Amino acid sequence: MNDSPHTAFSSSLPPPPATVLVAMSGGIDSTVAAMLLLEQGYDLTGVTYRVFDNISRGCMEKEKGCCSVDSLFEAKRMVEELGFAHHILDIRQEFKNSVISNFIDEYLHGRTPNPCVLCNSYIKWGKLVEMADTLGCRYIATGHYARIGRQDGRYFLKKGVDESKDQTYFLWMLTQENLSRTLFPLGGLTKPEVRKIAFDHGYEKLSKKTESQEICFIPDNDYRAFLAAQAKDFEEWCRPGCFLNTAGEKIGEHQGFPNYTIGQRKGLGIALGVPMYVVAINARENTVTLGTKEELKGKMCYAEQINLMKYASIPEGMTVTAKIRYRNEEATAFLFPEAGRIRVVFEREVNSITPGQSIVFYEGDDVVGGGIIILEL
RNA sequence: UGUCCCAUUGUGUAAUGGCAGCACAGCAGAUUUUGGUUCUGUUAGUCUAGGUUCGAAUCCUGGUGGGACAA
């Protein structure tokens, strides 16, 4: 705690000066990250993505989402003040073809996607590395609250020191190549410390900026309306169907399975005297099964699209703590590698295991790896 | 057609002559770089027309609607 913000991370960084491509969102985190790198003597170039055209969707809400056109100008202005080169990279087409199309496709298959995970891997780091190579930058940097560890020739993520802001859950898909070139200047800092740095540098307004939130390409936060507007033949997919109980009996009518997600309680419009939650979605049958909080619990799942970090392979029965959604407590789990996937058995039952969401495995602060949850083979 | 029973917020239920309450649903806010969860706040009701009473969801009479038994 007595470490100054600067020495807190300098020991793990390569000796400056080195060239760094820093992703600037216009928010406080990436801006402070850039400030810290500058003070360390790095040679910076900034880049801001234009991922989605919010203006064309009639939404000009201020300071909403990391990717609004508004924050784009904010980022450019910041970089000008800090005094290094800045590029705007228009990747709307790639973003639409990867992140958004996957988002829609997952919902139409009855799963619940996590677009941030894909975006980090495909867009943020994918494009960052590409651009760093083009510009001849050795490193890339972002304002995430995460750290990087190294062991036996492998790179892995470590949780940010500020556990309440830890963002490793969204970064499990990063490759060894990604990690080997990444700097996280904020990994050793807490959010209040970051705000103070911004304040001390004279950026009072920035220091009080609210957190970005919601899905960045859905500014009004209504993903159901977004699906209806963007998904091809949505009416074909989204038809009223049966709410079932866990015994398979009809207990009501739903508004189309893509409108629901596992664990959902609000918006069911069904009153049974006790809270009911979505416990299963069957896209093929167009049924949505409801159950009590107790019936929401589960003890195992599979993880696919595995990305390993700390170790090259997972020993049979390895004990880890697993996180099945952001801001959830980790749960002790045992891993059993199978062909192309991992079977995950939880020590105790956990709530609402949701197909499509990420599961991330930890060993203390270290990220062992992660995958996408599926329940049935 | 005869007899009996029932009717309270969107739903299910408490209150037996004395401030209509609870759960679920709904709505709003807080939290949150995904969806959801969670927390806090909140809207809304005595089927209808009369009568008894200081006072009626509650007792009496008619009506309406639903159910059961009888045929």
User: What is the predicted ipTM?
Assistant: 0.84
Query: Is strand B less than 7 A from the beta carbon of A276?
Result: yes
Query: CA A106, C1' B31: Å apart?
Result: 26
pLDDT at residue number A15: 59
pLDDT at residue number A54: 56
Contacting residues for A354 by C-beta, under 8 A, at least 6 apart: A111, A112, A261, A262, A263, A324, A325, A373
Residue A57 has pLDDT above 50, yes or no: no
The answer to whether residues A178 and A185 touch, using CB atoms and an 8 Å cutoff, is no
- What is the pLDDT of chain A when averaged over all its residues? 88
Query: Is strand B less than 7 A from the beta carbon of A214?
Result: yes
**pLDDT tens digits, residue range A13-35?**
555 578 999 999 888 899 999 99
Distances (CA, A) of A192 to A89, A143, A179, A208: 31, 14, 26, 10
Query: Is strand B less than 7 A from the beta carbon of A268?
Result: yes
Closest nucleotide to A263's CA, by C1' atom?
A: B36
**What phi-psi label fits residue A77: left (phi over 0), alpha (psi between -120 and 50 degrees) or beta?**
alpha
pLDDT at residue number A70: 62
Give all strands of the β-sheet with A85-90 in edge-to-edge order.
Answer: A85-90, A43-50, A19-23, A139-141, A182-183
Contacting residues for A309 by C-beta, under 8 A, at least 6 apart: A154, A155, A156, A157, A172, A174, A176, A179, A366, A367, A368, A369
Query: CA A272, C1' B71: Å apart?
Result: 39
Give the tokens for residue A362: 């930890």
Query: Is strand B less than 7 A from the beta carbon of A144?
Result: yes
Place of tokens 């919010």: A54
Query: CA A192, C1' B38: Å apart?
Result: 24
The answer to whether residues A18 and A138 touch, using CB atoms and an 8 Å cutoff, is yes
- As beta bridge partners, residue A139 has A20
Query: Is strand B less than 7 A from the beta carbon of A140?
Result: no
Contacting residues for A54 by C-beta, under 8 A, at least 6 apart: A60, A65, A67, A68, A69, A219
Helix (H, G, I), strand (E, B) or coil at A64: coil
End-to-end CA distance of chain A: 48
Enter the pTM of the model.
0.88
pLDDT at residue number A312: 95
pLDDT at residue number A62: 34
What average pLDDT does the segment A146-158 reach? 96
pLDDT band at A6 (very low <50, low <70, confident <90, very high): very low
Query: Is strand B less than 7 A from the beta carbon of A257?
Result: no
The answer to whether residues A207 and A198 touch, using CB atoms and an 8 Å cutoff, is yes
**pLDDT tens digits, residue range A165-200?**
899 999 999 999 999 999 999 999 999 999 999 999
Query: Is strand B less than 7 A from the beta carbon of A159?
Result: no
Which of the nucleotides in strand B have any atom less than 7 Å away from a protein CB atom?
10-12, 23-27, 32-38
pLDDT at residue number A290: 95
The b-or-e profile of A112-128 (16+ CB within 10 A means b, else e) is: bbbbbbbbbbbbbbbbb
pLDDT at residue number A104: 95
Maximum distance among all Cα pairs of chain A, rounded to whole angstroms: 67
Residues 215-234 of chain A sitting with CB below 7 angstroms of strand B? 215, 221, 223
Query: CA A273, C1' B6: Å apart?
Result: 21
**Hey, which residues of A are catalytic here?**
119, 216
pLDDT at residue number A218: 83
Q: Which amino acid is at A174?
A: L
Q: Say which range, A174-178, A183-187, A203-207, A237-241, has the weakest mean pLDDT.
A: A203-207
Question: Which is more confidently placed, A323 or A65?
Answer: A323
